[in-house]
Amino acid sequence: MLFKLAWKSLLARRVSVLLTVLMMTVSIFVLLSVETIRYQAKDSFSKTVSGVDLIVGARTGQVNLLLYSVFHIGVPTNNVSWQSYQEIATNPSVAWSIPISLGDSHRGYRVVGTSTDFFEFFRFGNKQALTFQHGKAFDEHFDAVIGSEVAKQLGYQVDDAIVLAHGIASTSFSKHDDHPFKITGILAPTGTPVDQSVYVSLQGIEAIHFNWQGGVRMPGTATPELADLQPKTITAFMLGLNSRIQTFNLQRQINEYRQEPLQAILPGATLMSLWTMLSSVEQLLLLIASLVLLGALIGMANMLLVSMRERRHELSVLRALGYRPGFLFALLQLEAMLISLAAAFTAFISLQLSMYVLKDWLLQEYGILLTRLSIINEFLFMLPLVLIASFLVALIPAISAYRQGLHQQLNL
């Protein structure tokens, strides 16, 4: 009977109730989106690289080095000489090394020059190795391996030919069309920036830039010799050590390297620094979303409170039928709960649809992989909080109904 009365009452005021539900839906959608993206961004970033003890690059900010070397965000300040890389990579404490050369792109996707050690030693997530969905690693200078998202968005398959472009802009007029690359492998999905990257050999990078100077192709058709394809500089490199005990000692040696200014960072510690820097932004976004929700809840309470004047006759009839004042209190609270539930589930469905539409864009532009499981987890965590907040805010109209019921009881 209580549920039936609450439902009939809401239907009788369907216009104001619908506007209240819409207002709360928007606020819950914003709060749920902020929390889901915040959590998923942290999870995606933390799973991008695993098992790398040190990342070395030209001296710059720690966060900047991490962003451009691992997440391919931003531009490096300088390069590292090949001689310095070889000297550090052959250190007795180093088990493996992965060179990285950035600066080119293909239709908006970053091109990464590296060696086959990348496919052997790079780890992501819980120290998961890279696997090939199709094909194999590059063997020749003009072979290429692409991430799963590149293959999906551009419709590429093994043995297709691609042309790299100079620079990292999505649209480039400086293309290396004199040296097309052949796709030899497509990596399995990882949910990391690896999916949105094209990998070629360092020798291939040197070959396509052989007749280039200052970002411009020079006249002439000189063909590079094999010896000329030795890299002169790289952007950064990753190191795995034989023992983690040696990490801080080697880091200090690199930071004090005399041949050129270098910097070695610990990926995990630098990532924690990044979250510390962004914590104030996270709290501000969460505060704004919470205030939006609070405003919607107050609007709902105001709607219920204003409707009390129109429902005096209804409440009088209920008291005359023998319903206690506590029943009126429960009736108003149930109406508030039904409005909140309708808004919460509408926001949840809207976010699911938005995720389906924007998932590829978020993954390509920001490297954030939104999954249905993450949205469901955030929704199940947030729903009780929204209902509790609705209960507390609805106490004002509910207590008013209770007191009005007592007054009518005295008059009877």
Q: Where are the domains of the chain?
A: 2-45+278-411, 54-265
φ, ψ (nearest 5 deg) of residue 75: -125, 135
Residue 253: both structure tokens together: 């040696």
What's the confidence (pLDDT) of residue 369? Answer: 62
CB-count exposure of residue 4 (10 Å: 0-12, 13-18, 19+)? exposed
pTM score: 0.71
Residue 134: both structure tokens together: 């199709």
What is each CA distance from 393 to 240, 315, 333, 337, 400, in whole angstroms?
55, 21, 10, 11, 12
The closest of 299, 316, 280 to 397, measured between CA atoms, is 299
How far apart CA 204 and CA 206 sit, in angstroms, is 5
Tell me the pLDDT of the chain (412 aa) as tens digits: 677 777 777 777 788 888 888 988 988 888 888 888 777 777 777 778 888 999 999 998 898 999 899 888 888 888 999 999 999 999 999 999 999 999 888 988 999 999 999 999 999 887 889 999 999 999 988 999 999 989 988 999 999 999 998 776 655 557 777 789 999 999 998 878 898 899 999 999 888 877 655 555 555 555 555 446 788 899 999 999 998 889 999 999 999 998 999 999 999 888 888 888 777 877 887 888 788 888 888 888 877 777 766 666 666 666 665 666 677 778 778 888 898 899 999 999 998 888 777 776 766 566 566 666 677 888 888 888 888 888 888 887 777 766 665 555 444 4
Q: Which residue has the tokens 């962004």?
A: 278
How far apart CA 314 and CA 380 sit, in angstroms, is 36
What is each CA distance from 250 to 53, 62, 93, 241, 256, in whole angstroms?
10, 16, 8, 9, 10
pLDDT tens for each residue of 78-131? 899 999 999 999 999 999 999 999 988 898 899 999 999 999 999 988 788 999
The closest of 198, 241, 267, 266 to 48, measured between CA atoms, is 267
The single-letter DSSP state of residue 258 is S
Q: Residue 256's CB: how many other CB atoms inside 10 A?
A: 8
What's the confidence (pLDDT) of residue 208? Answer: 84
Q: Can you say whether residue 103 is alpha, beta or left, with left for phi > 0 and alpha for psi between -120 and 50 degrees?
A: left
What is each CA distance from 205 to 112, 119, 178, 183, 407, in whole angstroms?
9, 18, 13, 15, 85
